[in-house]
Amino acid sequence: MHSFIYDIPTKLFFGDLDYSQLSKVIKQYGNNLLLVYGGESIKRNGLYEIIVETCLQTGIDISELSGVRPNPDIRTVREGIVICREKGIEVVLAVGGGSVIDVAKWIAAGVYVDFDPWDFFSKWAPVKKALPIITVVTISGTGSEMDCSGVINNCETNDKIGRSDYHIFPKASFLDPNLTKTVNRYHTACGAIDIFSHVVEVYFNLNRDLDMFDCVMESIMRTVLKYAPIALADPTDYEARANLMWSAPWAINGLTVGSKKQSWSSHKIEHQLSAYYPITHGEGIAIIMINWLKYCLNEKTVHKYAQFGKNVFSIQAERSEMAIALESISRLETFCFETLKLRRHLSDLGVGTDYFSEMANKACFSTAINGFITLKPEDVEAILQMSL
């Protein structure tokens, strides 16, 4: 058990979205706003109009960057940076899910550097500071609303890379479960398994750490198992939407990391997939996570799976650790592929073996992923093959 620093500065407004509160928070940071969002859904449901109206009424000038797509490309970040410079933007407001928020984060950081923002990812160029970021969340999943990470694609090079930096923590995020009632079945399922997978990446770890971290992670996983099916059965169930929405940021904001080493193995592999193919992260991560869990199970790691089985799936403790471990993986498969109705194989998503070797190398940065178990490119390729 080693030393660590806990530092999560994001303020959360949870429940009915208070628009006067939103404009008050924006005005704390400036009067010149860049509004970043995705497609037309926030126009259809009236959210766009209300936010714009509230901002204008309180004297906030608005510039817009719309059309942010899933697996957002670095070109969108570049576009946003140009607008910020031209318009003297002081605050960035992201209204959407993880893609929109991630784009907003790297725009906010990109404004302050004189190099191309892709250098943040390809060359690990330093983040100097960032414009204040505020978010209004419309789908529960990535948890980007309360973490300091953002993942960006580069379609020209088939790269998808995530990076963390303290400067890009949102100042405040507005989490209104009502806004997620219109999220469709498929994206609700993808978001739910994304939350679950973020916990899995930290939970399956051989470092010894504080008990409370594991307890919190088990609580988050149980929350997803309990409430995702309810939200699928009745999309307007406030309690289900609320529990999912609260779990998302806590699955990833760092509360449960403590002094553990993290590798984010499944995510490193899945990011390769959605760099090469236009697949939804949640659906890709479900397949990779399960096959990664199968691949990592051995005599040295089995105790963690047994703990997972007992505390998350309430599997009775009488059987051997290995039996509980196998049962827990099987239960998770049932949850992903039957309850959530996500597709079970990469081939179902149109993925072939063509780039597996290239992807495996990229996932390992040509060396290895040092995580729960160490994965070399050949291990990653094996996991991809198992997932096919």
Closest CB 66 distance from a second copy, rounded Å: 28
Nearer to a second copy, 3 or 316 (CB): 3
Q: How far apart are CA 149 and CA 162, in angstroms?
A: 7
Closest CB 290 distance from a second copy, rounded Å: 24
Region of residue 67 (left: phi > 0; alpha: psi -120 to 50; beta: else): left
Burial label, 262 (beta-carbon count in 10 A; 0-12, 13-18, 19+): middle
Nearer to a second copy, 256 or 274 (CB): 256
Q: Which of 315, 348, 351, 349 is nearest to 332 (CA)?
A: 315
Closest CB 200 distance from a second copy, rounded Å: 17
Using the CB atoms, write b or e for 46-83: b if 16+ within 10 Å: ebbeebeebbeeeebebbebbebebbbbbebbebbbeb
The DSSP code sequence of 139-188 is: SSSS-GGGSSEEEEEETTTTEEEEEE-GGGS-SEEEE-GGGGTT--HHHH
Q: At what angle do helices 281-296 and 185-203 cross, to 10 degrees?
A: 30
Closest CB 135 distance from a second copy, rounded Å: 14
Please give the residue ranges that form the binding site for a second copy (CB under 8 A).
Answer: 1-9, 11-16, 18, 208, 210-212, 215-216, 218-220, 222-223, 226-227, 238-239, 242-243, 246-247, 250, 258-259
Closest CB 239 distance from a second copy, rounded Å: 7
What backbone torsions phi and psi does residue 92 show, to the nearest 5 degrees? -115, 125
Nearer to a second copy, 199 or 288 (CB): 199
Closest CB 333 distance from a second copy, rounded Å: 24
**CA torsion through residues 194, 195, 196, 197, sign:** positive
Nearer to a second copy, 1 or 82 (CB): 1
Nearer to a second copy, 116 or 237 (CB): 237
Q: Which of 242, 237, 152, 140 is nearest to 198 (CA)?
A: 140
Nearer to a second copy, 295 or 308 (CB): 308
Closest CB 256 distance from a second copy, rounded Å: 11
Nearer to a second copy, 220 or 290 (CB): 220
